[in-house]
Chain A
Amino acid sequence: MHTRTLAQLAGDLRARRVSATELARHFLARIERCDETLNAFITVTAEQALAQAAAADRRLAKGEATLLTGIPLAHKDIFCTAGVKTSCGSRMLENFVAPYDATVVERLQNAGAVMLGKTNMDEFAMGSSNETSFYGPVRNPWNHALVPGGSSGGSAAAVAARLAPAATGTDTGGSIRQPAALSGITGIKPTYGRVSRYGMIAFASSLDQAGVLTQSAEDAALLLEAMAGFDERDSTSLDEPVPRYSQIVGEPWDDITIGVPESFFDQGLDADNAKALRAALAELEKLGAKLKSIELPNIHLSVPAYYVVAPAEASSNLSRFDGVRFGHRAELATGEDLTTFYMRNRGEGFGAEVKRRILTGTYVLSAGYFDAYYLQAQKVRKLISDDFTRAFREVDFVAGPTTPSPAFGLGQKTSDPIEMYLNDIYTIGANLAGLPAMSMPCGFVRDLPVGLQLVAPPLAEAQLLKVGHHFQQATDWHQRVPAS
């Protein structure tokens, strides 16, 4: 049952082949059995899930089922969920029970979804391996000695191990696509503003975007359709109609041209990954796509630009975690002053990577450094965005690797932040340019999944998902499930 896709499960529910309660119990049991090892969940909301499932069954019985009625999902612990601990992977929010639902949570719930729990993540979404979580690292279901990627590592592992049929995630520099690639599943980051950020704890506001981690592009279409759309509570959300993604994915293949930046296949890419990617591109060509070699002349600047812009915004976004109104508050002796109060609350509440980024961000925004770093990075961001705009005059998609290599070992890159940051080298461009991008399984290297990334023009999610769906109709990489 757990290997069935969302689309299949939705059909099963409607045909009453399975009840929402049975489904919820099944996945809760899988979590119970497997998650001690994987550590994909920070909070499991069994009681709530069963109550929601019971309500879904009543609706199903009355024939009132909507798009996702009875479908179990997991939410990344970055989304606020009313009455449920929302930790953001941090000690800072270990005691934080959100008083409201994020728009994403609310919309999926309104569409009938059942929440299984909240998934593990790098602290405040800062990380590429899920090792910065205060709640311990997540293990890659394909090999427990390896990382699942991050920051949406818990969501990726949960879906890869089929502890949940699908999960939400957020992507600031690759945090959906990179773990999707390393865990062998499909992950899409929509256009910036396509999905509301309201209730999603901010890391870098101009880059953050919510999306999904699923077994297939078709499933992603189904979820995105329920999540996307304008939200008056988020000024940066786009006031554009939401296409019927779930229908469009099945429509016939268009004439498409896929641009391939040859620089993506340079020395930085694992040779075996390159081979798998070339094979996948050949498969797409066989399906009728035209391949075209392109250049993104400034893309090599994306990592340094990102590591100025994202920490700058983060340093400000994380200022609210001061222990005054919520979150971690240190024990203070009488007579200790306000500065000590702040230092202790934040010093104890935040982990090392978060502190590193707050310090970096504070530095690049400081008087005397602002122009050289922040403004310069914004100019580079514009250049990268322009590169994509130029490319999309000639091609419909830009394809390439999602990551430089398959999943790496736990602890392998934790001592060298730069080495860790370079893991996002192929994914960051889409965030800087605000473009929709998707990673899907396209082969295996040394028994580990490899992801193919496709980037599309603004608001071309439907086309992106359609290409993904057609590729997945012709291949079975996405159906492979780890042994355990």
Chain B
Amino acid sequence: MDWEIVIGLEIHSQLATKAKIFSGASTTYGAAPNSQASLVDLGYPGVLPVLNAEAVTMAVKFGLATNCEIARRSVFARKNYFYPDLPKGYQISQYELPIVHGGRVDVVLEDGSTRTVEIVRAHLEEDAGKSLHEDFAGMSGIDLNRAGTGLLEIVSAPDLRSAAEAGAYMRKIHALVRYLEICDGNMQEGSFRCDANVSVRRRGEAKLGTRTELKNLNSFRFVEKAIEIEAARQIELIEGGGRVVQETRLFDPDREETRPMRSKEEANDYRYFPDPDLLPVTIDEQLIARVRASLPELPDQKRERFVRDYALPAYDAGVLTVERPLADYFETVAKATKATPKIAANWVMGELAGALNRDGLGVGAARVSAATLAALLDKITSGTISGKIAKEVFEALWSGEGTVDEIIEKRGLVQISDSASIDKLVAEVIAANAAQVEQFRAGKQQVLGFLVGQVMKASRGKANPQQVNDALRKQLGAA
């Protein structure tokens, strides 16, 4: 049977505001439990919420970047339910009138095709606190530091058709919110997480199947894995004559399964109604114009520009523009060096990304600056060192051994380019490898590579490879 998987994501993106969305408390992560919860966050009697204007600006930014309609008037509503980490007994969210709705993003898939995903809505809300069930024997702890942190919940239409597409879409939104600087995107800390609505249907069927909601997926890998597992479960269930029940499920990455959440936590009538403590949010043209003017170049625009201005392959441009700091790094190198942009791109995606990855660093913490890398690439272009030697220099730079010139000088890495020295080295290699020379002359062309290697080895890698090649052919009479 041929099945189609249908997925919609609800992404919770924690807003990078300094203060919480309705109280003045700090949003810094990792402080001592309950040390960053004000009376408003604690839901004390008599306190009132006051909207943080910065959160509104951030939502508008997102809306403009995703071609959404910006609601000139949106309304906060109360979502009522009881849970110890929800201090007021309701969450302030937006229900009928969200701040942003009706937009779309294009997601480039692995095969190079593009899928347009509709953004149904994005609304502002406050986060709940955290319940800590593990640390206290027989009891639960409540940490309300997170309570009241602003979230932008981004709801997609059920436009995604595979786990990989869902992953690509989530990465796309992740890149976008980081470009816009409205979310730090830190998934370990829960700043960027999502719920996935998953259903399956027989291919060609118009009607959507019954969906389940997978809660709190906090990595790209988990999203993909959870969807795959859940879709497989649903297919197996239906094929076995069963029916999918609409419910909320949790993904267990250790056991690689999804299982229903306790019904108590989901069977809620949230009794939404407009929050009488907050006025409707009104947004005028001026604010929209101001935010529009402040928008940075977005990933798609940057990718296209990299292809256009630097003649990069679309793939390279895509990789380089996923993160704004990486793109900026590349551009700095490309502009400063005499090497081609493609060579700059290769180095940024290769050596730099590799070193960052190995040391678990972000681009901002790179131990070789863009200006230094540009200087290094210049040495290749000028023929001072070979590409291979440059890699050695790069590692030395990364370890903090000095400047490009110092390292080349100290390690004696300057490329040997004078023909007399090279001719001498070549002559010695020919003399020492009579058997191979014989083979070459008998027509075995591949042996040339071996001989080049011997010369390079004799020069300790410093001989100009092209010149070695030429000299060998000449001396062997094959030129």
The A-contacting residues of B in range 313-340, CB under 8 angstroms, are none
Cβ of A11 within 8 Å of any chain B Cβ, yes or no, is: no
A-B contact pairs, 17 of them (CB 8 A): A86-B46, A98-B46, A102-B46, A198-B47, A202-B46, A205-B276, A233-B48, A233-B50, A313-B273, A315-B80, A316-B80, A316-B89, A319-B82, A319-B88, A320-B45, A320-B88, A324-B142
A86 touches B45 (CB 8 A): yes
Contact with A along B55-69 (1 / 0, CB 8 A): 000000000000000
Which of A200, A312, A319, A334 touches B46 (beta carbons < 8 Å)? A200
Interface residues on B, range: 20 to 34
A366 touches B48 (CB 8 A): no
Q: Is the interface of A mostly helix, strand, loop or mixed?
A: loop
Closest 10 CB pairs of A and B: A319-B89, A206-B276, A365-B271, A205-B276, A199-B46, A320-B43, A201-B45, A80-B46, A320-B88, A367-B269
In the assembled complex, the CB of A237 is this many whole angstroms from the nearest CB of chain B, namely: 9
Interface residues on A, range: 35 or more
Which A residues touch B46, using CB under 8 A?
Answer: 79-80, 86, 98, 102, 198-202
In the assembled complex, the CB of B276 is this many whole angstroms from the nearest CB of chain A, namely: 4
B273 touches A235 (CB 8 A): no
With A and B bound together, what is the CA distance between A338 and B83 in angstroms?
9
The A-contacting residues of B in range 262-289, CB under 8 angstroms, are 264, 269, 271-273, 276-279
A98 touches B89 (CB 8 A): no
Cβ of A421 within 8 Å of any chain B Cβ, yes or no, is: no
Cβ of B97 within 8 Å of any chain A Cβ, yes or no, is: no
A80 touches B45 (CB 8 A): yes
Which of A102, A313, A324 touches B84 (beta carbons < 8 Å)? A324
In the assembled complex, the CB of B138 is this many whole angstroms from the nearest CB of chain A, namely: 8
Residue in B closest to A198 when the chains form the complex, CB atoms: B48
Cβ of A357 within 8 Å of any chain B Cβ, yes or no, is: no
B87 touches A325 (CB 8 A): yes
Q: Which residues of B contact A (CB under 8 A)?
A: 39, 42-51, 78, 80, 82, 84, 87-90, 138, 142, 264, 269, 271-273, 276-279
B45 touches A365 (CB 8 A): no
Quick one: which of A206, A236, A325, A334 has the most chain B CB within 10 A? A325
Cβ of A374 within 8 Å of any chain B Cβ, yes or no, is: yes
Known contacts: A99-B39, A320-B87. The answer to whether A326 contacts B44 by CB under 8 A is yes
Quick one: which of A79, A205, A235, A326 has the most chain B CB within 10 A? A235
B90 touches A205 (CB 8 A): no
B88 touches A366 (CB 8 A): no
A366 touches B82 (CB 8 A): no
B277 touches A205 (CB 8 A): yes
In the assembled complex, the CB of A206 is this many whole angstroms from the nearest CB of chain B, namely: 4
Q: Is the interface of B mostly helix, strand, loop or mixed?
A: loop
A362 touches B271 (CB 8 A): yes
Which A residues touch B82, using CB under 8 A?
Answer: 319, 322, 342
With A and B bound together, what is the CA distance between A79 and B45 in angstroms?
9
Q: Which residues of A contact B (CB under 8 A)?
A: 79-80, 86, 88, 93, 96, 98-100, 102, 197-202, 204-206, 232-236, 312-313, 315-316, 318-322, 324-326, 334, 338-339, 342, 362, 365-367, 370, 374
Which B residues touch A374, using CB under 8 A?
Answer: 273
With A and B bound together, what is the CA distance between A338 and B81 in angstroms?
13
A312 touches B44 (CB 8 A): no
Which B residues touch A202, using CB under 8 A?
Answer: 45-46, 277
Quick one: which of A197, A316, A374 has the most chain B CB within 10 A? A316
Residue in A closest to B277 when the chains form the complex, CB atoms: A205
Known contacts: A86-B45, A365-B80. The answer to whether A235 contacts B50 by CB under 8 A is yes
Other A-B pairs beyond A205-B276, A320-B89, 20, CB < 8 Å: A80-B45, A86-B46, A93-B45, A199-B47, A201-B46, A202-B46, A205-B277, A233-B48, A234-B50, A235-B49, A235-B51, A236-B279, A316-B271, A320-B43, A320-B87, A321-B45, A322-B82, A322-B89, A366-B269, A374-B273
Residue in B closest to A207 when the chains form the complex, CB atoms: B276
Which of B44, B48, B84, B273 touches A316 (beta carbons < 8 Å)? B273
With A and B bound together, what is the CA distance between A232 and B48 in angstroms?
10
With A and B bound together, what is the CA distance between A334 and B47 in angstroms?
33
Which B residues touch A362, using CB under 8 A?
Answer: 271
Which A residues touch B49, using CB under 8 A?
Answer: 235
A197 touches B44 (CB 8 A): no
Which A residues touch B84, using CB under 8 A?
Answer: 322, 324, 338
Which of A93, A236, A325 touches B276 (beta carbons < 8 Å)? A236
Which of A102, A312, A316, A338 touches B90 (beta carbons < 8 Å)? A316
Which B residues touch A88, using CB under 8 A?
Answer: 45
A365 touches B273 (CB 8 A): yes
B271 touches A366 (CB 8 A): yes
With A and B bound together, what is the CA distance between A324 and B131 in angstroms?
12
A236 touches B277 (CB 8 A): yes
Residue in B closest to A100 when the chains form the complex, CB atoms: B39
In the assembled complex, the CB of B89 is this many whole angstroms from the nearest CB of chain A, namely: 2
Quick one: which of A88, A313, A334 has the most chain B CB within 10 A? A313
Which B residues touch A199, using CB under 8 A?
Answer: 46-47
With A and B bound together, what is the CA distance between A320 and B50 in angstroms?
18
